[in-house]
Amino acid sequence: MTDYTTVCNILKQKGIDLDHNRFLILQGEVEQISLMKPKAANPNDVGLLEYLEDIIGSNKYVEDIEILSKVCEECNERRIEQTNRVKASQHELRGLEREKHIAVEWIRMERRHMKLLTYKFFIDLGDAVQAYNDTMQLITQGRNEIKAKRDQKKELFHDHQSLVNEIQNLHHQQEEADRREKDLKTDFALLERQDIMINNEKKAKLVEISKTEKQIKEYDDEK
């Protein structure tokens, strides 16, 4: 069997306040409730809203609600301020729409100009590469010609050196022949002098022989 205390404890566990008179209509209060203002004009007055909050127990949230209302009001003021700034920015943005189109057109033309410059750069680069290749070909050809001239010069120098060596050899042979000729002339002069002396001696001998033969003939005649 359930008693009164048990029922009250169960109701309190469910959050029902049984310690205060929170009944919507009490006996003898109907007229007083009908004369209440919808909301109290000042904190010391009680209106129907405050009466109902006291009955349902939501009056304990009044202070928090007021704080949150102020916060909400401040947020709303900031929202209005930001909204006004957004509207002003949108107005300015609409005012800059023409300049934006001009800037976009300028960027488009600038991109096209840069693209054309890029095409021209690659064309000039191709011409420069071709000119570089032609120049390198001319340089290579010139180097080959210089190498050929140097080789020809070396060959001519070698031939010239051979001719110089041959001329020097002939010159030495000429000097040797000159010395030999000089020696032969000296020997010839000596032999010529010796021949003259021999001839003179021969003539003298012949004269002596002739005299001797004459003497012999005279001697034979005398006999």
Convert the pLDDT of each residue in 153-170 to its tens digit. 888 888 778 888 888 888
pLDDT of residue 28: 55
Smallest CA-to-CA distance from 21 within 60, 54, 70 is with 54
Is the alpha carbon torsion for 133, 138, 142, 147 positive or negative? Answer: positive
pLDDT of residue 86: 87
**What single-letter amino acid sits at 138?**
L
CA separation for the pair 175, 96 (Å, rounded): 111
Q: pTM of the entire structure? A: 0.30
In the chain, which stretches have pLDDT less than 50?
Answer: 24
pLDDT of residue 3: 73
Give the gyration radius of the chain's Cα atoms. Answer: 76
pLDDT of residue 213: 78
pLDDT of residue 220: 67
